[in-house]
Amino acid sequence: MGMEEDMRTLGAEMLGVMVVVLIASTTESAMLTGIALGLMTTLAMGVSGAHLNPAITIAQMAMQKMEVEDGLKYLGAQIAGAFGGLLIFAHVYSGNVDIPTNTAADDIWLDIAGMMVAMLFFTIVWNATVGEGTVDGFGGMVVGAFSWLMIEATDVTMNAAPHFAESILTTSLDFSTFWMFWLATALGSLMAFWMWDEIMGEGEDNSEE
């Protein structure tokens, strides 16, 4: 990406994550967080592709759908956006940044499996509506609505960027379980992209015959 394109795409990723994290922190509402994600996804779709989640970016790098250099820039912008949203919440709205939820060692594999499944379904919805653009004009809001339901069900946003920012700002970074949030969400997204390519690839092959 050139300098001007970098500023647009990375700015969209950073602003999108920042707004969603700020809304989630100030309202603590799954519905409003989902609406914010839907709106920011819609705004960023034509600019950066609206990843707004490290798991999407990591999976796309692993699937060679984007260059590693570009992906690392996206990750940096997403993390910066998460820090920005939390710092605005803490210093402008005088809010307390919560310590992110970690898991006990006994439950770690169950938690990883749960996050993988949640991100698998989220990424399928994201890819079908935003990534592939099969729902013109409404993809962002579909993602937001699904995120709302996912947060209501799990009480977790499944986004490693704010999880990392919260861990640093509250000095509660626990490396014994911190890694699993990144691994589980990235694996869930990777599985979703792989399944999509396998299923849709077979469909395209059959239609050509």
Record the tokens describing residue 187, joined without a space: 């694996």
Q: For residues 102 and 148, which has the higher predicted lDDT (pLDDT)?
A: 148
| Residue labelled with tokens 């299923």 | 199
The b/e string for 102-122 (b: 16+ C-beta within 10 A; e otherwise) is bbeeeeeeebbebbbebbbeb
Mind listing the pLDDT tens digit for each residue in 162-173? 999 999 999 988
In a domain, 209, yes or no: no
pLDDT category at 208 given cuts 50, 70, 90 is very low
Q: Which of 175, 143, 174, 137 is nearest to 159 (CA)?
A: 143
Mind listing the pLDDT tens digit for each residue in 98-139? 888 765 556 778 888 889 999 999 999 999 899 876 555 678
In a domain, 60, yes or no: yes
Distance CA 189, CA 126 (A): 10
Q: Which of 58, 111, 108, 89 is nearest to 169 (CA)?
A: 89
Q: For residues 98 and 63, which has the higher predicted lDDT (pLDDT)?
A: 63
Which residues, in sequence order, are CB contacts of 34 under 8 Å at separation 6+? 144, 145, 146, 147, 148, 149, 151
Average of per-residue pLDDT values in the chain: 88
In a domain, 96, yes or no: yes
Whole-structure pTM value: 0.90
Q: Which of 115, 97, 117 is nearest to 195 (CA)?
A: 117
Distance CA 4, CA 50 (A): 18
Distance CA 15, CA 30 (A): 19
pLDDT of residue 131: 86
Report the run of H or E that residue 181 belongs to, with start and end.
helix 175-208
| Residue labelled with tokens 């990424």 | 123
Q: Is a pLDDT exceeding 70 seen at residue 206?
A: no
pLDDT of residue 2: 66
Q: In this structure, are residues 155 and 52 in contact, taking their beta carbons and an 8 Å threshold?
A: no
Q: Is a pLDDT exceeding 50 seen at residue 89?
A: yes
Distance CA 171, CA 151 (A): 25
pLDDT category at 155 given cuts 50, 70, 90 is confident
pLDDT category at 46 given cuts 50, 70, 90 is confident
In a domain, 11, yes or no: yes
In a domain, 49, yes or no: yes
- Give the domain CATH number at 130: 1.20.1080.10
Q: How many CB atoms lie within 10 A of CB 93?
A: 10
In a domain, 83, yes or no: yes
- The whole domain housing 86 covers 3-204
Average pLDDT over residues 14-23: 97
In a domain, 131, yes or no: yes
Number of domains in the chain: 1
pLDDT of residue 203: 45
